[in-house]
Amino acid sequence: MTDNRNNDETPEEPIIRDKRRVDPETGDVREPEAVAADDAAAAPAAELTEEDQLLLDQASVDLVAEMRSDMLRAQAELVNFRSRVERDRAANRDAVITEVIRSLLPALDDLARAEAHGDLVDGAPMTIVAQKMRSAFDKYGLKQIGAKGEPFDPAFHEAVVQLPTPGVTVNTIADVIEPGYILGDRLVRAAKVAVAVPA
């Protein structure tokens, strides 16, 4: 049997990596880090060319810039989400307060009618109840709208009847049948009025 290899050529030595957990010479248990260190020592170190290093540096810079851009975008989305949640929460709170006040307006109307008929006198229990209800509504900023002599505004007043009146040039409230209320800039109930119109 002849050897076809060239005698001048030295054969490459095989690389042997010992991955055994027990050291065959000492009998001690090897730590996984030691095995990894042995692998790293046995592996040939790859050297980067200057061009490869520049490409690697540029890729790192691009990656950092992209991650920073993603982070800033995520922060902006979070700020927008928080402000939207706060705005929705405030709008829901105002809507709930408006509905509660709207449900209590008939009681306020009854108290106003009782006061107009002289049923509420100083010191009477119902007078104290009326004062407490009005102060509670004032705390939330409830304001009455629709007064006799005001110009008629269809955004805040509901015309129940029209009265042709000589001398009137613009539609004017002649009488208030049921007062209206606003809470801030939100209309709670339109005032029901009789409107004097030009004859």
Supply 193's token pair. Answer: 């009025």
Residue 152 lies in a domain: yes
Q: Is residue 191 a part of any domain in this protein?
A: yes
- 69 HSE (CA, 13 A, CB side): 6
Number of domains observed in the structure of the chain? 1
- In a domain? residue 137: no
CATH number assigned to the domain comprising residue 185: 2.30.22.10
- Find out whether 1 and 7 touch, Cβ atoms under 8 Å: no
| pLDDT reported for residue 35 | 47
Q: Is residue 149 part of a domain?
A: yes
Is 199 contained in some domain? yes
CA distances from 6 to 42, 174, 187 (A): 27, 123, 103
The per-residue pLDDT for 157 is 94
Range of the structural domain that residue 168 is part of: 142-199
- The per-residue pLDDT string of the chain (199 residues; one tens digit each, 9 = 90 and over) reads 445 555 556 677 888 777 777 777 887 877 766 445 555 555 555 677 888 788 888 888 888 999 999 999 999 999 999 999 999 999 999 899 999 999 999 998 888 888 888 877 777 778 888 888 889 998 988 999 989 999 999 999 999 999 998 888 899 999 999 999 999 888 999 999 999 998 7
Residue at 108 is within a domain: no
For residue 110, being part of any structural domain is answered with: no
- Is there a domain that residue 105 lies in? no
Say what the pLDDT of residue 102 is. Answer: 92
CB atoms inside a 10 Å sphere around CB 31: 10
Taking alpha carbons only, the member of 179, 186, 142, 183 closest to residue 160 is: 179
